Amino acid sequence: MTALILRSKAIRQLVHLIIDGPAGYRELLALDTFFHHLGYPIDYLQAESRSKYTTRVLAQVQADGQLSRLLLQLVQSGSSEQVQRQVQAAISEILLPYGFTLGQDRGTAEFRVAPATVPVSSPTTEELSLPSFQHLPLSEEEVALLEDRWNEAVTLHRAGAFRMTLLALSLILEHVLSASLYYFPKQARSSDHASHFSLPFGDWKLDAMLNVAAERSWISLKKDDLPHRVRYYRDYLSPGRELREAPLLDEEMSNRAWQQVKRAIEDLQATHERAGIRVAE
């Protein structure tokens, strides 16, 4: 698991939580005192906003490797157990795309920043093997192309090209989900998670497709089972956007993506087999 290093989007979310959240420090003096107690006597500048001041201090806190300590202090500063729970949930939502959460030890009741999930080993030979795309509502040409792309993704993963691996897996999963939406249009359109009703299914974002598929029991994955960089892959196509906002890449993230994407495709295969689909034979 990589070290916890937040990018600019998460930093903005954390700044908002600190200054305007449930336990927010809504006055500069209170904010200044909070940081001083953490050992950061960085005074705010004249005419500096709370947001800019907090962002400046957070940059130093993160550079010093003290981010986890700040998060613990923030949740513990809640005036009541209810407020602490609200702050804990908000922090965990910020950390989740990075593979972390803010939990509470059942024995000691102490809060701690910890990995959100257990480590995932490298994908097995079975997990890397070709799925049976023939059991999905796809043409022969689509099946052949997806098989080529799957094999290319395996090559990328084995070469350590995790960024391109995640992109390849995201696109494969998006295509088979889109095919399922087209095959079950009434179920898809009537879902509480349906994207804009006027949009063709092919224009839906992957995250919306996953939510509909999970709600309709086409797949057994939950919303956050797939890595954030898979579900929102379109957000990180731009190198600039990736530098500013994307959670850092590591091999474990790629390992988890293999496990969950293969599982989702197999779930879709089972769904269509029950519906009697064997299109590309």
Amino acid at residue number 32: D
What is the structure's pLDDT at 280?
45
Domain ranges across the chain: 8-115, 125-274
CA distance 17 to 175: 37
What is the structure's pLDDT at 281?
43
Residues in the chain where the model's pLDDT stays below 70: 1-2, 109, 117-119, 195-198, 223, 277-281
What is the structure's pLDDT at 223?
67
Structure tokens at 31: 């904010």
pLDDT in tens, 219-270: 998 767 888 888 888 888 888 878 777 777 778 888 889 999 999 999 999 9
Q: Is 46 left (phi over 0), alpha (psi -120 to 50) or beta?
A: beta
Structure tokens at 153: 């993704």
- The 10 Å CB-count burial string (b at 16+, else e) for 104-140 is eeeeeeebebeebeeebeebeeebbeebebebbbbee
Q: Enter the pTM of the model.
A: 0.69
Q: To which H or E segment does residue 59 belong?
A: helix 50-63
What is the structure's pLDDT at 200?
85
What is the structure's pLDDT at 279?
47
